[in-house]
Structure 1
Amino acid sequence: MALTTHKLSVLQGVGLLVSALLGSGVFIIPAIAANVAGSWSLLAWAIMGILIVPIVFTFAQLGKLYPHAGGTAYYVQQAFGERSGRLVSWLFIWVVALGTPVITMTAANFLQNALIALHLLTSGTDFRLLIAIVMLLLVLVINLFGLKTAAIIQTVLSVLIVSTLLFASIDSQLHHSLTLPVTEFNVGNIAFAATFILWCFLGIEAITHIADDFEHPQRDFPLTIFIGITIALVVYGLISISLLQTGFYGGQENNLNSVVHLVEASLGHKGYILVNLAGFCTCFISVSLYFVGFSRLLQSMGKQQQIHDAFTRLNQHHVAYGGLAFAVMLCFVMLLISYFIDLAIDNLIAYANGLFILIYFAAGLAGIQLLPGKSRWIAVVASVTCFVLFLGLGKEMLFAVILITILGGYYTVIYTSNNRIKTS
Structure 2
Amino acid sequence: MSSARIGIGQGTAIYVGAILGAGILALPSLAAKEAGPASVLAWALLLLFCVPVATTFAALGGRYPDGGGVATFVSKAFGPRASAVVGYWFYFALPAGAPATAYVGGRYVADALGGGQTEALLIAVVLLGLAFTSNALGLKISGRVQLMLVGVLALLLLIACVAALPSARTANLTPFAPHGFWSVGSAASLLFFSFAGWEAVTHLSGEFRNPARDLRRVTALTLAVVAILYIGLSVTSVLVLGPQLEDSPVPLSLLLQAGVGGAASAITATVAALLALGTMTAYLAGASRLGAALARDGALPSWMAKGNKAGEVPRRSLAVLGVLSVAVSVIALTTGASLGSVMLGASACFIAVTVAGLVAGARLLPTGRPVWFGAVLAAVVMGVVLAFSEWFLLVPLVLGVAAVLYSRRRGVVPVEAASPDLEPASGAAQ
| Length-normalised TM-score, structure 2 | 0.83
Residues in 2 aligned to 1:351 and 1:226: alpha-carbon distance in whole angstroms: 30
AA aligned opposite 2:84? R
Q: Which amino acid aligns with 2:199?
A: E
- 2:416 paired residue number: none
Query: Contact between 2:51 and 2:223, CA under 8 Å: does it hold in 1?
Result: no
Unmatched runs of 5 consecutive residues or more in structure 1: 117-122
- For residue 277 of structure 1, give the secondary structure of its aligned residue in structure 2: helix
- Among the aligned pairs, what percent are the same residue? 26
Equivalents in 1 of 2:133, 2:232: separation in Å? Answer: 35
Q: How does 1:1-400 map to 2 (within 5 A)?
A: 6-113=4-111, 116=114, 123=115, 126-178=118-170, 179-180=172-173, 183-185=178-180, 187=182, 190-245=184-239, 246=241, 255=249, 257-314=250-307, 318-338=312-332, 341=336, 343-345=338-340, 349-375=343-369, 378-392=371-385, 395-400=388-393
> What residue number does 2:414 align with?
none
Shift of 1:417: 6.5
The residue type equivalent to 1:155 in the other structure is L
CA offsets 1:24-45 (integer angstroms, 9 cap, x no match): 2322333333344443432322
> Post-superposition shift, 1:92?
1.0
- Partner amino acid for 1:261? L
Q: Aligned partners of 2:363, 2:86: CA distance in 1, in Å?
A: 16
* TM-superposition CA deviations, 1:177-222 (whole Å, max 9, x none): 13146531274x5444334433223232221111111122111112
CA deviations 1:218-260 (Å, max 9, x no partner) are 1111210111121112211121223334156568xx53x3323
In the alignment, is the contact (CA less than 8 A) between 2:29 and 2:251 conserved in 1?
yes
Deviations, residues 37-64 of structure 1 (Å, cap 9, x unaligned)? 4434323222212222111110110011
Instruction: Give how far 1:22 is off.
Output: 1.6
Distance 1:141 1:411, change over 3 A: closer
Instruction: For 2:179, give the aligned amino acid.
Output: E
Whole-angstrom distance in 1 between the partners of 2:169 and 2:23: 26
Specify whether residues 277 and 211 from structure 1 end up closer, same or farther in structure 2 by C-alpha distance, changes over 3 A only: same
The CA RMSD measured in Å over matched residues stands at 3.0
Number of matched residues?
403
CA shift for structure 1 position 155 = 0.7
- Structure 2: distance between partners of 1:112 and 1:337: 23
How far did residue 419 of structure 1 move?
7.4
Q: 1:323 to 1:37 in 2, by over 3 A?
A: farther
CA distance in 1, matches of 2:281, 2:342: 19
How far did 1:103 drift?
1.9
Mapped contact 1:195–1:389 kept (Cα < 8 A)? no
Matched residue SS, 1:319: coil
- 1:59–1:208 contact (8 Å) kept in structure 2: yes
- Distance (whole Å) between structure 2 residues aligned to residue 416 and residue 328 of structure 1: 23
